[in-house]
Amino acid sequence: MENINIQLDKIDLQILSFLKRDGRMSFTDISNEMKASVGMIRNRYQKMVDNNILHIIGWADPIKIGIDAYARVNLKVFPPEKINRVLDQLVALPEVSFVALTSGSYNIEINLMCSNNKQFLSTMMEKIHTIEGVSDSNTTMYLEVKKWASRNF
């Protein structure tokens, strides 16, 4: 389906709120909570999925699955014409969980999730610093994460 720019209303945000709490909540349960029809919930859900607004994923706590080296890495790319190629190569790395083009002193921010510091160092030295155009990096290791990504609707 073609992506169209849709505006979410209070009902859409309420559906998202229920699914955020319990991603496996049935349309029937949501409709009962909202006092709305199951068909309306299903249609709005599908519209949000089709427009890449809602993504249903299985999320595992990184610490509990052995990810003990988690960091934010800022990268400087030179010359700037290489930024898109660098972004594409970073997106392809399995250790990279987040990639963003940024403003400021560094062009790119990534999050790296590795099983330990040895894997982290290896990833930085063998996979990231070897990408043509990466000229500098600044790393912040996360020592303890108090809140993983979420937002109240």
CATH number for the domain spanning 38: value is: 1.10.10
How far apart, in whole angstroms, are the C-alpha atoms of residue 146 and residue 153? 20
In the chain, how many domains are there? 2
Q: How many CB atoms lie within 10 A of CB 54?
A: 18
Would you state the pLDDT for residue 1?
43
Is residue 153 in a domain?
Answer: no
Look at residue 35 and tell me whether its pLDDT is greater than 80: yes
Mean pLDDT, the chain, integer: 92
Would you state the pLDDT for residue 60?
80
Is residue 41 in a domain?
Answer: yes
Are residues 136 and 70 part of one domain? Answer: yes
For 8-18, how does the pLDDT look when each residue is reduced to its tens digit (9 = 90+)?
Answer: 999 999 999 99
Are residues 31 and 79 part of one domain? Answer: no
Is residue 147 in a domain?
Answer: no
Domain of 126 in residue numbering reads as 63-142
Are residues 82 and 103 part of one domain? Answer: yes
Are residues 124 and 95 part of one domain? Answer: yes
Tell me, what CATH number does 115's domain have?
3.30.70.920
Model-level pTM?
0.75
Are residues 42 and 101 part of one domain? Answer: no
Is residue 133 in a domain?
Answer: yes
Look at residue 147 and tell me whether its pLDDT is greater than 80: yes
3-state SS, one letter per residue, for the chain: CCCCCCCCCHHHHHHHHHHHHCCCCCHHHHHHHHCCCHHHHHHHHHHHHHCCCCCCCCCCCCHHHCCCEEEEEEEEECCHHHHHHHHHHHHCCCCEEEEEECCCCCCEEEEEEECCHHHHHHHHHHHHCCCCCEEEEEEEEECCCCCCCCCCC
Is residue 114 in a domain?
Answer: yes
Is residue 149 in a domain?
Answer: no
Would you state the pLDDT for residue 78?
96
Q: Which two tokens stand for residue 28?
A: 């029937």
Closest CA to 116 of 52, 65, 150: 65
Look at residue 114 and tell me whether its pLDDT is greater than 90: yes
Closest CA to 4 of 53, 37, 40, 45: 53
Are residues 74 and 112 part of one domain? Answer: yes
Q: What percent of the chain has pLDDT over 90?
A: 78
Q: What is the rounded average pLDDT of the residues 75-100?
A: 97
Confidence class for position 105, pLDDT limits 50, 70, 90: very high
Q: What is the rounded average pLDDT of the residues 105-131?
A: 97
Closest CA to 74 of 38, 29, 107: 107
Give yes or no for a contact between 89 and 134, defined as CB atoms under 8 angstroms apart: no
Is residue 5 in a domain?
Answer: no
